[in-house]
A and B are shown apart, each in its own frame.
Chain A
Amino acid sequence: MSAVPLLKVSDVSKFYGSRIGCRNVSFELYPGEVLAIVGESGSGKTTLLSCLSTRLMPTSGVVEYHMRDGQYRDLARMSEAERRFLMRTDWGFVHQNPADGLRMTVSAGANVGERLMAVGDRHYGNIRAAAGDWLRRVEIEEDRIDDQPRAFSGGMRQRLQIARNLVTSPRLVFMDEPTGGLDVSVQARLLDLVRGLVHDLGLAAVIVTHDLAVARLLSHRMMVMKDGAVIEQGLTDRVLDDPREPYTQLLVSSILQV
């Protein structure tokens, strides 16, 4: 158990003019830990995710990241070049809509290989081998390596997006509704895959979802958001089995039982 957090979030708020995106959010994320942020649409979970992943600058508060060199860096004080480098090496971002995270008009192999080329890999054979290996790990047949994601199903696209993110062995992955819009059976496969990868690679992850079943399956810890604030947080099964706050109780009681 690593004693040092990977991400330190202190009092982060984001306002859109006078409207609140999220407010006063603080937490720490440790290596290998999976945190789910749940809440309904408009609760601020996506705003928070954007603030953590430098896609948005918080209005106030500090997000610090434990760099590979052992130093903590305030993300807001990093240069854009450094942030973008971080985004494509040590971090991943899995979008709800795979088209937002993939290049739809280049092949699956190149989608996976792009990050390697971006960090300076200049050996075609090695890049292609790594891409093929990752396609296999996300259960895409290797003979699809030269097909464009346009020709893939929604589930395959999402798996490809995951492979594209993981090829540089990131330590932290952000996921925004990774199973949104997928059929239930496709969801199950994806969840199992993500669960396995997170476990095998020791990834830390922040997963935004409105689906409590996804949170239960993937996360160690969860935060419940409402109106921009974190109203309840803790061990995932504690929050789901013994919800304290009125809103959390409502959420949990609204889960469809099969």
Chain B
Amino acid sequence: MNDLANYNFAYLDEQTKRMIRRAILKAIAIPGYQVPFASREMPMPYGWGTGGVQVTASILGPSDVLKVIDQGADDTTNAVSIRAFFQKVANVAVTTRTADATIIQTRHRIPEEKLGEGQTLVYQVPIPEPLRFLEPRETETRKMHALEEYGLMHVKLYEDIARNGHIATTYAYPVKVEGRYVMDPSPTPKFDNPKMHMSEALQLFGAGREKRIYAVPPYTEVVSLDFEDHPFEVQKFDRPCALCGAENVYLDEVVLDDKGGRMFVCSDTDHCEDRRAHGHAGAMLAPAAKESQEAAE
């Protein structure tokens, strides 16, 4: 690709990558600890994944296979743009198939398919500091992390129960990593929290505007905070995916018309397509598609 002449491989210069890799190594060495790094200006606005993109750019090699998802979907603007960006500046292979990817950059979801050794999940993080909303002073929150003073985190959960009768935090649900640091898992639904625990894949978190990188190495304990009498629970859906019939997956609500018509479908588009390709069908799968699938079987 001739356009490449103007860019270093994967857009960032090698010194920057080196700096970011050092931050990543430190983050892996201290699971859950937020490592400051010199976040660069990227050709996209803050809030669009500049942190995740810098992490991906720093770990990406020519032989990697990249997948990018946004809210579980491979075909949304943010995912498409970032995927195209790395195709252009690194000329790497891309995929939508979770199993084929070596690096998955994500915004707000963890794929339904279990990740394995050798895979790396890169999270885009807007606000890395879980204590921020209760204690706005960064000097104080850093001290609280250093001294393991995490009572405040439970204050937030207490407030939830007091107000709603249950822990109403459904995303960015705080976790304790390897029994030490409390960490914000980025705004993933708490449905995905259990997937972080003892994951075989490496999990890296990049916050571009906030200039922080943190990590959960493979096979690390990740425990969602809770109370003895209000234990952590994930969301439960009372129906399967309308397209592929999957149960125990995270569903998105899709409005179909202006008469109240709606359907609930897998938020992980790759997972959904894969299941349909294997003949699973949900209640609202178009009859034609159903027939062609039946014919295929």
Contact = CB atoms under 8 A, between A and B. Distances in A.
Are chains A and B touching directly in their complex (CB below 8 angstroms)? yes
Interface of A: 80-81, 84, 88, 103, 106-107, 109-110, 113-119, 122-125, 127-128, 145-146
Nearest to B147: A81
Contacts of B143: 80
Given A84-B147, A123-B228, A123-B229, A117 B158 contact: yes
B283 interface: no
Interface stretch (B33-41, B101-109, B148-156, B237-245): B148-156
27 contacts: A80-B147, A81-B147, A88-B151, A103-B134, A106-B159, A107-B162, A107-B163, A109-B162, A110-B155, A114-B151, A114-B155, A115-B151, A116-B151, A117-B151, A117-B158, A118-B151, A119-B151, A122-B226, A122-B227, A123-B227, A124-B158, A124-B227, A124-B229, A127-B158, A128-B162, A145-B162, A146-B163
B230 interface: yes
B12 interface: no
Interface string B152-178: 101100110111000000000000000
Contact of A146 (B154, B162, B230): B162
B149 A118 contact: yes
Nearest to A118: B151
Contacts of B161: 124
A110 B162 contact: yes
Nearest to B135: A103
A109 B155 CA distance: 9
Secondary structure at the A interface, as helix, strand, loop or mixed, is helix
A125 B162 CA distance: 10
Contacts of B230: 124
Nearest to A126: B229
7 shortest A-B CB distances, which residue pairs?
A: A118-B151, A117-B154, A124-B227, A117-B151, A81-B147, A123-B228, A110-B155
A106 B155 contact: yes
Nearest to A115: B151
B163 to A, nearest CB: 7
Interface string B255-296: 000000000000000000000000000000000000000000
Contacts of A115: 151
Contacts of A109: 158, 162
Contacts of A110: 155, 158-159, 162
B10 to A, nearest CB: 41
Contact of A113 (B134, B155, B228): B155
Given A84-B149, A124-B229, A124-B230, A106 B154 contact: no
Contacts of B158: 109-110, 113, 117, 124, 127-128
A84 to B, nearest CB: 6
B175 to A, nearest CB: 15
Contacts of A127: 158
Given A106-B159, A110-B159, A122 B151 contact: no
A158 to B, nearest CB: 21
The CB with the most chain B CB atoms within 10 A, among A81, A110, A118, A119, is that of A110
A84 B159 CA distance: 24
A129 to B, nearest CB: 11
B224 to A, nearest CB: 13
B165 to A, nearest CB: 11
Contacts of B228: 122-124
Nearest to A145: B162
Nearest to A108: B162
A80 B230 CA distance: 33
Contacts of A118: 149-152
Contacts of B150: 118
Nearest to B150: A118
Interface string B228-256: 11100000000000000000000000000
A98 to B, nearest CB: 17
Given A80-B147, A84-B147, A114 B227 contact: no
The CB with the most chain B CB atoms within 10 A, among A119, A127, A146, is that of A127
A80 B143 CA distance: 10
